[in-house]
Amino acid sequence: MTFVDSHAHLADPAFDGDRAEVIARARDAGAAALVCIGESLLAADRARLVAEQYPRLVYWTAGVHPHDAADFDEQSSIPAIRAHAESGAVAVGECGLDYHYEHSPRLRQQAAFAAQLELARTIGKPVVVHAREADEDMRAMVAEAGRAGVRGVMHCFTGSEALARTALDSGWSISFSGIVTFKKWTDIELLRLVPPDRLLAESDAPYLAPVPYRGKRNEPAWVPFTIARLATVRNVDQETLSAKLTDNARAFFDLAR
């Protein structure tokens, strides 16, 4: 079985001691590609270095997370993200809105998100979006971006059905993480709502390890547990679903085959 981890923080210091082993385990588990997320300009620099060590396996993104939106400076941040995109980054982000922690003021989050959406539109790259407890504002911004032709993925989706439908109506994709294997996940219909061609799977490593590894440092090799859960709920063969999700991720991020 092959799979693509559409969202992993492989450049995170949590992997500094054994990153090569983590990537090797992912490859052995069937990983066809790993998308290393640059959720800050510093993380994007680190992600690029990781990707350059593993051509045609690890890819990287560049953006500014809503937690860091207070420090976002459009005059310097946008050119830096654009430079990453021109050097091969496959997407803008992780960016978005997070009203749960509010590490940055909401208006600053909205401004940073809007600027990155506009950049994604301008350069023709997809956007990787973080959304937490910000459904109303997120729905409005996603709908507007969709109308402007921006392609995006709602990563590690835990939002409402209304937000999911807005994203899907806007032509966006939705990615699920190991959270869907937790006992507390009860929204089975949401896992069935996403059309087969808009569905992605991710680790969000080092966070949110799936059952049976919950509580441990997560890694991409465990994405198949999330895919198995999705396959069970959607009543499809796991290998067939994994192949479809691999095709989806390759098409979304325009990855090499």
CATH assignment of the domain containing 228:
3.20.20.140
Query: For the stretch 183-213, what's the b/e string if a residue is b when 16 or more beta carbons lie within 10 angstroms of its beta carbon?
Result: eebeeeebbeebeeebbbbbbbbbbbbbbee
Q: Got the DSSP string for 78-112?
A: HHHHHHHHHHT---EEEEEEETTT-SS-HHHHHHH
pLDDT of the chain along its 257 residues, tens only?
A: 899 999 999 999 999 999 999 999 999 999 999 999 999 999 999 999 999 999 999 999 999 999 999 999 999 999 999 999 999 999 999 999 999 999 999 999 999 999 999 999 999 999 999 999 999 999 999 999 999 999 999 999 999 999 999 999 999 999 999 999 999 999 999 999 999 999 999 999 999 999 999 999 999 999 999 999 999 999 999 999 999 999 999 999 999 77
Q: How far apart are CA 14 and CA 117, in angstroms?
A: 29
- Number of domains the chain is built from: 1
**Whole domain around residue 192: which residue ranges?**
3-253
Question: If you ran DSSP here, which 8-state letter would residue 201 be given?
Answer: E
Global pTM value: 0.97
